[in-house]
Structure 1
């Protein structure tokens, strides 16, 4: 009886191994998948924020020379961000912009725009 059980186990193992050896394993799809791009851009995220919070007629528009820093287009806003004027002021706790106090939405969006490389579109 013991010999019969051993023979049966050996037969089953042989069948199992033979069936496994002929099976093909397909390679997984190795095509790179780009993660979704949700980069912060001037046109999509920054422009309206700056227009509503900074480039008003009393502040950083082109008609207000007292401000000394017009923020009415991509080039002006990017230059202000890159040279530190915009970034430093929105992050300042002692002399913040806007002067009414820090706005976490502005800070988050402008800092993310900087981190994403000041994209326009």
Structure 2
């Protein structure tokens, strides 16, 4: 699954050169692929969230996101914040569309752990 995510993140559906130095990868993740916490979500959260949402939390983060249950129980907040253009998480800027879509795909697929 990680290999699929890497492929999705590195591919671009547009063959024309882009002036955007940080383009959003496309296409979005394949909706027929099973997204799991262990294979897909945990690495995104670890790389982008746990510096503040660790245990203990830092920078006034309201919750820890280091375990499957913590991420699962806060998925609606996570989806809302990673998709917010006005107040995005992480605070350094929005994640690529494909990465943000993984959270919704994981929720829609039943929040599978493995």
Q: Same fold (TM over 0.5)?
A: yes
Matched, 1:60 2:61: no
Q: Between Structure 1 and Structure 2, whose CA radius of gyration is higher?
A: 1
The residue that corresponds to 1:92 in the other structure is 84
The residue that corresponds to 1:119 in the other structure is 112
Alignment length, in residue pairs? Answer: 81
User: 5+ residue gaps in structure 2?
Assistant: 1-31
Q: Distance in 2 between matches of 1:64 and 1:103?
A: 21
User: 5+ residue gaps in structure 1?
Assistant: 1-36
- Larger % of helix: which? 1
TM-score normalized with structure 1 length = 0.62
Q: Distance in 2 between matches of 1:51 and 1:43?
A: 11
Cα-Cα RMSD: 1.4
| Residue 71 of structure 1, CA deviation | 0.3
Q: Distance in 2 between matches of 1:98 and 1:38?
A: 25
Q: More relative contact order in 1 or in 2 (CA 8 Å, sep 6+)?
A: 2
